[in-house]
Amino acid sequence: MKKHINFNGDNLRLKQLLKKIEIDICDIIYDHKINDITDISKETVKNDIYVAIKGHKKDGHQFIKQAILNGAKTIIYESDIPIDIGNINYIKVSSTKKIYAKILDCFYEKIKENVIVVGITGTNGKTSTSTLITSFLEYNNKKCCLIGTNGIMINQEKISINNTTPRIKTIYDMFIKMKKLKIKYLIMEATSISLKELRLEGIMFDYVFMTNFASDHLDYHSSLDDYFYSKMRLLSQLKPNGKIILNVDDAKYKLVLEMSKNEIINYGIKEKCVFQATNIKIVDDLWRFNVQYDSHITTFSTKLIGHFNIYNILATLALIEDLGFSSYDMVSFLQVFTHLDGRMEIVRKNDRMYVIDYAHTYESVKSSLEALKYYNQDIILVIGCGGDRDKTKRGLIADVSCKYANHVIFTSDNPRFEDEEAIILDMIENLNYNNYEIETNRLLAIKKAVLKANKKDIVAILGKGCEEYQIKNNIKYPFNDKDILLNSLRGD
């Protein structure tokens, strides 16, 4: 049987909990001891509270009967339900998502004590920045839990999740694990979709990052404004003494500044700010730059490629300085931190440079290719666009690909329910370049790029990073760009 760890004590009963969140208890017929609260019917056991959530694809109201059969004694719902099973509490509310967050916050109110919660939002850089922060803290013997695009990492355990920001109960499950393992830091990517769907409702943050803002996810959001303001929900979840770490060079900086009530620590390259990188250059394959802080100038060297990674390092530096570490701690860390998996990750062989990167938005593709241009070598690019995603960016990505690369091989990404060839046709429909070819099969496209590369060339494989799969018709087939690349280099 599923068990929970209730740091409020094991005797919390339903009426006690409901009073705390100011829900009327007059109609409660069974004041049971609470085992746990869940929104997944198949996980429900005796004395659970089941909350029926309307999701993007599934409606939890359809599974109320199953939850009851599994042992739920209280049902919280928002839509009318044709169920009348005796000795069960039915509580109707206007928003089950909001009530669910309140109940979880109340039920597990003690487990978040003394945890420093860091939330990172933005169009690009969330995964790189969160990974840098976590790796730095672990390098300095601080225990962390990381939740993001690559899953959950906690105490050397990797847990797969379906979304970059998972359901709110999963986050509370991690708080429970952290309490048991005495982990102090929670680093979390916060996507616009998760914020709009209230997956982070009720969780308060010590630090919030806004890395940058560009067009993305317009397949989900009704407009760019909806996308932006969904991200800005995170500002309202800062603790009273919480701080915002903000990219001063981003176009939305001044607007975020106006919306912010908390202290802001800014960083950047172009504009004057607290943590500003200057004198950027490439020396012996390292990217070097200076940062002045507290009247001291520190020189940093990193194997991470591109201005966007300098932004990620600056964001990390802003946080760790505020946590009591020094810039010299960061210098030491960067000497051993060689790459981010699937983020401008370099493989070198036979005087050729191969780069694996996750870039899949117009801005990130442009930034990645601009960074590679610094090496003054020909670029052979393998790239595609995902299916069932924002179609407006396809032509833009194709255009910037041909503009910066010497030769482009357009291929499939994660086609999902779309036809692979149709996606590529969308990409090239209005393209005014002829330095490209089409190879729908991504494996063959990577092999073609390897064979085509001459000495000193750069082969860039963009779009999927360290993903272990390719999604076709909702089926995940094993596929990893780096594995395909290494096999191709071996001649497999």
- Inter-residue contact 277 to 312 (CB < 8 Å): no
Q: Give the E-state strand segments of 343-492 in sequence order.
A: 345-349, 352-357, 379-383, 407-410, 436-438, 458-462, 469-472, 475-478
Q: 14-107: which CATH architecture? A: 3-Layer(aba) Sandwich (3.40)
Where on the phi/psi map is residue 262: left (φ > 0), alpha (ψ -120 to 50), or beta? beta
Q: CA 165, 200, 101: angle at the middle one, nearest 5?
A: 130
Q: Which residues contact 458 (CB under 8 A, 6 or more apart)?
A: 352, 353, 354, 355, 372, 375, 377, 378, 379, 380
Amino acid at 73: K
**Of 454, 479, 456, 453, which is closest to residue 466 (Cα–Cα)?**
479
Strands 49-51 and 74-77, by their bridges, are: parallel
Amino acid at 105: D
pLDDT at 62: 92
**Of 484, 448, 444, 450, which is closest to residue 464 (Cα–Cα)?**
484
3-class secondary structure per residue, 285-323: CEEEEEEEECCEEEEEEECCCCHHHHHHHHHHHHHHHHC
pLDDT at 10: 55
Please state the φ and ψ torsions of residue 261, each to the nearest 5 degrees: -105, -20
* CATH, range 345-490: 3.90.190.20
Hey, where are the domains in the chain?
Answer: 14-107, 116-336, 345-490
- Inter-residue contact 378 to 408 (CB < 8 Å): no
The H-or-E segment that residue 178 falls in is helix 168-181
What is the full per-residue pLDDT of the chain (492 aa) written as tens digits? 444 444 444 578 999 999 988 888 877 888 999 999 999 999 999 999 999 998 877 899 999 999 999 999 999 999 888 777 778 999 999 999 999 999 999 888 888 888 999 999 988 888 999 999 999 999 999 999 999 988 999 988 899 888 888 889 999 999 999 999 999 999 999 988 888 888 888 899 999 999 888 766 667 767 888 888 888 889 999 999 999 999 999 988 999 989 888 999 999 999 999 999 999 998 888 999 999 888 889 999 999 988 999 999 999 999 999 999 999 999 999 999 988 888 899 999 988 999 999 999 898 999 999 999 988 999 999 999 999 988 989 999 999 999 999 999 999 999 999 999 999 999 999 999 999 999 999 999 999 999 999 999 999 999 999 899 999 998 999 999 999 999 999 975
Strands 275-283 and 238-247, by their bridges, are: unpaired
Q: Which residue's structure tokens are 């001291």?
A: 296
CATH topology of domain 116-336: UDP-N-acetylmuramoyl-L-alanine:D-glutamate ligase (3.40.1190)
> Per residue in 292-331, is it b (16+ CB within 10 Å) or e — as a string?
eeeeeebebebebbbbbbbbbbbbbbbbbbebebebebbb
- Inter-residue contact 192 to 227 (CB < 8 Å): yes
**Of 443, 462, 458, which is closest to residue 384 (Cα–Cα)?**
462
pLDDT at 268: 96
Amino acid at 119: G
DSSP tag of 395: H
The model's pTM is 0.85
User: What does the alpha-carbon distance between residue 36 and residue 48 come to, in Å, rounded to a whole number?
Assistant: 5
Helices (H) and strands (E) in the chain, counts: 15, 23
Amino acid at 200: L
pLDDT at 467: 92
Helix (H, G, I), strand (E, B) or coil at 21: coil
Q: Token pair for residue 22? A: 């100011």
